[in-house]
Structure 1
Amino acid sequence: MSAKVVVVGSLNMDLVTRASRLPRGGETLIGQSFATVCGGKGANQAVAAARLGAQVSMVGCVGTDAYGQVLRQALLDEGIDCRAVSAVEGTSGVALIVVDDNSQNAIVIVAGANGALTPAVLGCFDAALQEADVIICQLEIPDATVGHALKRGRELGKTVILNPAPASRPLPQEWYASIDYLIPNESEAAALSGLPVDSLQTAQIAATRLIDMGAGKVIITLGAQGSLFADGKGFEHFPAPSVKALDTTAAGDTFVGGFAAALVAGMSEAQAIRFGQVAAALSVTRAGAQPSIPTLADVQAFKTP
């Protein structure tokens, strides 16, 4: 394989508990189960792209704790190039996740070593960016590093994808000119655009605003309602495959990784979106972050119920 996806982002150990519902403020619930699962949006997207057929390199930081060793090995086991995954003194990133009986989740992230991925560290691995066809970023690493990766990707003429997650505020305006594909979910699109996103129609309005702000193309993922693609010339709605959801953790990451893998495989935008949607649909039928991500064979074998 010569086509390459390079992911600049986070690696977290997910500490996952299941409960009948999400706790209210000040409340203690009895949980049903607990597991430690390799995650982090960057690592999840790298695993998704690798399992779905792409050659992948990861740029990130882990701690010198036991979690760091496990997180790095998990990527190596997927055939992901980890030469740009640095071990820094201290703890690895963690995510505390509660999943309820309706498959909804609540997540608290502690950055840990992810905060050590500075522009200077990224600069040490510029060769990885130069070798990329597609560069993917998220928002679980320092903003300055994200901005550097986006700008450098544009300078190198690469296809640049930003999954603005987690997003609670507008992005720096100068970022938009470097983004080929901005891929937020409903809440992220609302945070970035300053507009409500609660229907297909409002998603179109928000996508238009984001393109007006400078993004090349926008794909808003709408969960069970599918995805909305906008390119400034029009819109296309892609209905979601119908599946029974068990756990939505990493569904968005699976879509992003699958979309990128499909692009480097030569698929059209529409084909890549549908490919990513099938991968994401399969992921929600399984528990966990990286364990839920399907393989290329799984996607190819998928039949709509």
Structure 2
Amino acid sequence: MARIHCLSTADMDRVFEVDHLPVHDEKMFAAAFHEGAGGQGVFVARALAALGAAVTYHGTVGDDPTGAAVVAELSAIAGLSVEIARLAGVATGSCAILVDRTGEKALVLAPAAPELGGRLGEGLTVEPGDIVTLNFFDPAQMARVLARARAGGATTIVDIEATGISVFGWEAALAVMAAADIVCSNQTTLDAWSAREAVTGALLDRAERFARAIAISGQRVCVTLGAEGVLVFDGAATEHILAVPVKPLNTTGAGDTFLAGLAFGLHRGDSLFAAARLATRVAADFLGFGSVDRDRLGL
């Protein structure tokens, strides 16, 4: 049976719930604190397991107690297969997340060992019809993983964010996008590209120009725009899909959950546009309830 593979490094998310995001030199007490396994692909895989997909998460952690806790938590998720490499002498990644009462967040990522990205996906094997989702990590390793996945008959979906671009640069990001079948990105990355290319104008116009610019090798593209929905380009036509109105509990992982819904829709045979419409509903369910539930979604 065809399977969805989700690749990313895994970390320990340490979440502080606060009244508002702090300003310069402000000290505050959190209203609540909790921690658990995180990482972009972790959110994708968690949502796919909740949707009932055949899904495997592929990740890397260190050989420290934090890595052991992350592996144990993810291994306990019903319906999720895990293939997580524990790297000797490496510290597991860590992320501090501040979430205010409106659901908006700020993230601070601890410096990560290069090996966590450089060895990600080494054991990946695929079958024709599989889907592979990847977030932006070590470009050389991504090139190897993408080539192997596509040679094996899998559809590849790459999620590109400005955070990764700030580390590896635009040229590396563009090369990775050109090697994938489908590219997902967001408004923050769109704004960074617009500034780089001196592109101005209305949001949707800029989003379409961005999508067409990165689809030079026939890629299909989704650009998520927060409350403005998503711009979808299939190589010939575009569609603007409106966001589902929702009061978010926590926006952390919303884009990853959209990616999960997109992969789920494509996996069951939907067109790109139909899959993106489903993904918008899945992301809204996550934003409103803090989790994904296939019964709420009528799936």
Tell me the amino acid that sits aligned with residue 176 of structure 2. W
In structure 2, what is the Cα distance between the partners aligned to 1:197 and 1:11? 37
CA contact (8 A) 1:5 1:132 kept: no
What's the offset of the Cα at 1:115? Answer: 3.6
CA distance in 2, matches of 1:251, 1:152: 28
Give the ranges of 4+ consecutive aligned residues of structure 1 lying more than 6 Å apart after TM superposition.
Answer: none
Shift of 1:126: 3.6
Q: Does structure 1 conserve the Cα–Cα contact (< 8 Å) formed by 2:234 and 2:272?
A: no
TM-score (ref. length: structure 1): 0.86
The question of whether the paired residues in 1 share the 8 Å contact of 2:15 and 2:96 is answered with yes
The count of corresponding residues between Structure 1 and Structure 2 is: 289
Q: Which of these residues, 151, 156, 173, is aligned with residue 155 of structure 1? A: 151
- Mapped to 1, the partners of 2:275 and 2:245 lie a distance apart of 18
Name the counterpart of 1:64. 63
Matched, 1:247 2:250: yes
Q: Aligned to 1:27, what secondary structure does the other structure show?
A: coil
Query: Contact 2:285–2:293 (CA<8 Å) still a contact in 1?
Result: no
SS in 2 for 1:136: strand
Match of 1:295 in 2: 293
Contact kept, 8 Å, 1:189 with 1:207, in 2: the verdict is: no
Separation (CA, whole Å) in 2 of partners of 1:171 and 1:46: 28
Distance 1:157 1:34, change over 3 A: same
Matching residue within 275, 282, 285 for 1:282: 285
Separation of aligned partners in 2, 1:205 and 1:199? 10
CA contact (8 A) 1:147 1:175 kept: yes
Percent identity between matched residues is 28
Conserved 8 A contact 1:197-1:203: no
Pair 1:236 & 2:244 matched? no
Q: Report the alpha carbon displacement of residue 117 of structure 1 after superposing the two structures with TM.
A: 4.0
1:8/1:149 contact within 8 Å kept: no
Which of residues 199, 202, 214 in structure 1 aligns to 2:203? 199
Residue 204 of structure 1 and its aligned partner are, at CA, apart by 1.5
User: How many Å separate the matches in 2 of 1:114 and 1:57?
Assistant: 23
Cα pair 2:133 2:157 within 8 Å, conserved = yes
Query: What is aligned with 2:27?
Result: 28
- Greater mean deviation of Cα atoms: 84-93 or 179-188: 84-93
Deviation at 1:54, TM superposition (A): 1.4
Q: Could you say what the CA RMSD is over the residues aligned between the two structures, in angstroms?
A: 2.3
Decide whether the 8 Å contact of 1:22 with 1:106 is kept in 2: yes
Contact 1:17 1:32 survives alignment (8 Å): yes
Query: After alignment, is 160-169 or 98-107 more displaced?
Result: 160-169
Aligned residue number for residue 139 of structure 2 = 143
Q: Which amino acid aligns with 1:136?
A: T
Distance 2:101 2:139 in 1: 34
Q: 1:279 to 1:197 in 2, by over 3 A?
A: farther
Partner AA of 2:243 in structure 1: A
Q: CA deviation at 1:203?
A: 1.3
Aligned to 1:86: 85
Residue 4 of structure 1 deviates from its aligned partner by: 0.4
User: Can you give the 5+ residue segments of structure 1 that lack an aligned partner in the other structure?
Assistant: 287-291
* Equivalent residue, structure 1, for 2:131: 134
